Homo-oligomer: A and B are copies of this chain.
Amino acid sequence: MTERDAIPAGGKATYIAEEVRRRIIEKEWRQGDRIPDETELATEFGVARATVNKALQLLAEEGLLDRRRRAGTRVAINPVRKATFSIPIVREQIEAAGLSYSHRLISQSRSPLPAQHAERLGLSTGDILIHLRAVHYGDRQPFQLEDRWINPRAVPGIEDVDFHHLNANEWLVRNAPYLRADLNFSACNAGEHDAPLLDTKPEQALLILNRTTWNDVGPITTVRLAFHPGYTMAATT
């Protein structure tokens, strides 16, 4: 860490991570190369080994480095980079876009679980769950169509909630922290049933997000979110 180096914005570990990243981008260290071990880098940068360790672990999580005990650290040959996106509360997402939020509950009932969901949830077909359908609006335009099943055994108190005025997404986020979640994206045509709810044509392509959460008791909820036509979901790296 020589005098002329810029002051590290996020501390020395961040600075070292940036410097190592730069050496990889600029091909000073090439795909597959072994890089100096932690002790050597600690000496080079004039820091403790733990600091180098933190920096390199960060880059390994990003997928840029492969690290193995005894074998050392190498620049990844096929860097499998990762992207993350946050799962916002619908209302906050809509309001963040400067629109006024509203929602409409289409149905709320206790219903037997269809087979298509039972396996994924690890429950039995016909178990009684709470089934909700709702549309979320931004400035009165349909934004998202929600089709949700909630397992009351995993969420005590849910039976008494009326979702006409409170949105299920928000209630669950605040009251049912989860241990594990599954999430996937797909696309499907709106169809006769959903198209009118999103104010579009039946053949319109829609982005679909399916999400299921579990806590220590069992599955909490599974939800299918269909976004309005043209919606894009952004991720960061």
Instruction: Give 16 A-B pairs besides A85-B235, A184-B233 with Cβ atoms closer than 8 angstroms.
Output: A31-B174, A63-B86, A78-B92, A80-B89, A81-B87, A82-B85, A83-B84, A83-B181, A182-B237, A184-B232, A184-B235, A185-B185, A186-B230, A187-B187, A187-B188, A210-B232
B183 contacts A235, C-beta separation under 8 Å: yes
Query: Within the assembled complex, what's the spacing in Å between the Cα atoms of A22 and B217?
Result: 12
What 1/0 flags go to A157-191 for Cβ under 8 Å of B?
Answer: 00000000000001001110111111111111100
B187 contacts A79, C-beta separation under 8 Å: no
Using Cβ atoms and an 8 Å threshold, which residues of chain B touch A184? 232-235
Using Cβ atoms and an 8 Å threshold, which residues of chain B touch A82? 84-87
A233 to chain B: closest residue by CB: B185
Using Cβ atoms and an 8 Å threshold, which residues of chain B touch A231? 186-187
Using Cβ atoms and an 8 Å threshold, which residues of chain B touch A216? 22, 25-26
Chain A: residues with CB nearer than 8 A to chain B?
21-22, 24-26, 31, 63-64, 77-89, 92, 170, 173-175, 177-189, 203-208, 210, 215-216, 227, 230-237
B25 contacts A177, C-beta separation under 8 Å: yes
Query: Within the assembled complex, what's the spacing in Å between the Cα atoms of A21 and B114?
Result: 32
A80 to chain B: closest residue by CB: B86
A145 to chain B: closest CB distance in Å?
A: 13
Using Cβ atoms and an 8 Å threshold, which residues of chain B touch A78? 89, 92, 170, 173-174
Using Cβ atoms and an 8 Å threshold, which residues of chain B touch A89? 78, 80
B86 contacts A237, C-beta separation under 8 Å: no
Query: Within the assembled complex, what's the spacing in Å between the Cα atoms of A86 and B234?
Result: 14
A138 to chain B: closest CB distance in Å?
A: 17
22 residue pairs A–B, Cβ–Cβ below 8 Å:
A21-B179, A22-B216, A25-B216, A31-B174, A78-B92, A80-B86, A80-B87, A85-B235, A180-B237, A181-B237, A182-B237, A183-B234, A185-B207, A185-B235, A186-B230, A186-B233, A187-B206, A187-B207, A187-B231, A189-B204, A203-B203, A210-B232
